[in-house]
Each structure stands twice: as structure tokens, then as C-alpha cells.
């Protein structure tokens, strides 16, 4: 029995491989080959009018679908980011759209990634709205875009604030 345990310790644990295993005759990639991944493509979906999908698509990249669902069969991304302003109407619209996904009523094949909340005014949210954001955050990842005075006058080249760093990483945007 002791010899069997020693043999097992020397040979290591049994490893299961899922999928086909390359035979020795198949060429392996060179050790110095670099693997690169392209950023994931997203569709920005507005949950209400004026949510800001056009601005976000311009600044962060991706496909602006407005208030429509993306159509992957037409080459549009199936990964979506739901967008709303942080006022009461916007947060209610996000909750309603999340409920559409919960019930299974969203078009099949769409991949809901996160919610993006765009500040509707400078400063902190009133307590009622902050509580609504907390509730939304309990069911899905939420990214925040703060008030951007430059965007209000049409300057989309202004540097992104550090509060948008996580969203920039998600979308593969370099400028933060």
C-alpha cells in the first residue's frame, strides 16, 4: 500500500482534458508567438430617450442602437450595455428593461453585460435615487459616467474622468 502511494505521489494527480488533444505530429505554436485579443464589441441600448447612447458610442466605441435592440444577424454586436440617465425616469426605465430580461422577454441571443448610468446633473444623487441605484447594482454590474460639462457643449474630446476608468477598460478605450 505504501509503495502504491509513493508511486501516485511521484506521478502526480490524474488530469482530465476536455476536448481534442493535439497529437505529437501536429505543429505546436512557437513559444515566442504573441496572443492578442481584440476588445469586445458592445451595442449601447437606450432605455429611454436622451439616455446618451450616441455620445457613449462616440467616446467609448461600440454600436449605438438607440432605443432598439441590436440585430446580430445584421452584424450588430450581441453584447449589450443598457444606458439610462440618473433621474427618476431613467432609473425606472432601467428597472423595467432589466425586468424584461428577467422574464425572458428580450430577444433571444442577446448578452446583457451591464448597466451604464449617465449623470443627469452635477453633484450627488438625492437619497431616493441613490437607493434606486443601489437596488439596480444588487442585480447587475453598474458603471457610472459623471456629469461632463464639455459633453454638454458638444466637446467629446475632453479627457475622461477617473470615475469612467472601469467602463473604459470594459469597452477597450485607451483614453482615461
User: 93-114, pLDDT tens digit by residue?
Assistant: 999 999 999 999 999 999 999 9
**10 domain-assigned:** no
Distance CA 116, CA 80 (A): 10
**90 domain-assigned:** yes
Q: Could you tell me the three cell numbers for 148?
A: 461632463
**16 domain-assigned:** no
SS3 state of residue 115: strand
Look-up: residue for cell 442585480? Answer: 139
Give the CATH number of the domain where residue 140 resides: 3.40.50.300
**117 domain-assigned:** yes
Lowest mean pLDDT among 25-39, 81-95, 110-124: 25-39
**26 domain-assigned:** no
**24 domain-assigned:** no
The mean per-residue pLDDT over the stretch 112-124 comes to: 96
Query: H helices within 12-160, ranges in order?
Result: 53-60, 88-103, 127-137, 149-152
DSSP strand pairing (63-64 vs 79-85)? unpaired
- Total domains in the fold of the chain: 1
Q: Please, are residues 163 and 144 in contact by the beta-carbon 8 Å criterion?
A: yes
Distance CA 76, CA 64 (A): 9
Q: Which residue range forms the structural domain that includes residue 79?
A: 43-171
Q: Please, are residues 60 and 99 in contact by the beta-carbon 8 Å criterion?
A: no
**64 domain-assigned:** yes
**56 domain-assigned:** yes
Q: Could you tell me the three cell numbers for 126?
A: 438625492
Distance CA 154, CA 54 (A): 12
The mean per-residue pLDDT over the stretch 121-139 comes to: 96
Amino acid at each position: 500500500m505504501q509503495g502504491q502511494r509513493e508511486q501516485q505521489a511521484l506521478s502526480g494527480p490524474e488530469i482530465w482534458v476536455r476536448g481534442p488533444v493535439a497529437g505529437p505530429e501536429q505543429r505546436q505554436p512557437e513559444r515566442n508567438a504573441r496572443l492578442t485579443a481584440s476588445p469586445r464589441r458592445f451595442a449601447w441600448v437606450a432605455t429611454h430617450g436622451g439616455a446618451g447612447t450616441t455620445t457613449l458610442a462616440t467616446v467609448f466605441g461600440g454600436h449605438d442602437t438607440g432605443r432598439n435592440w441590436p440585430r446580430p444577424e445584421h452584424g450588430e454586436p450581441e453584447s449589450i450595455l443598457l444606458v439610462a440617465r440618473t433621474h427618476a425616469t431613467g432609473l425606472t426605465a432601467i428597472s423595467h428593461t432589466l425586468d424584461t430580461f428577467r422574464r425572458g422577454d428580450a430577444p433571444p441571443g442577446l448578452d446583457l453585460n451591464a448597466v451604464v448610468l449617465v449623470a443627469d446633473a452635477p453633484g450627488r444623487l438625492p437619497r431616493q435615487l441613490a437607493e434606486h441605484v443601489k437596488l439596480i447594482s444588487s442585480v447587475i454590474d453598474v458603471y457610472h459616467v459623471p456629469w461632463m460639462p464639455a459633453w454638454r457643449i458638444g466637446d467629446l474630446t475632453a479627457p475622461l474622468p477617473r470615475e469612467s476608468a472601469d467602463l473604459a477598460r470594459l469597452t477597450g478605450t485607451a483614453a482615461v
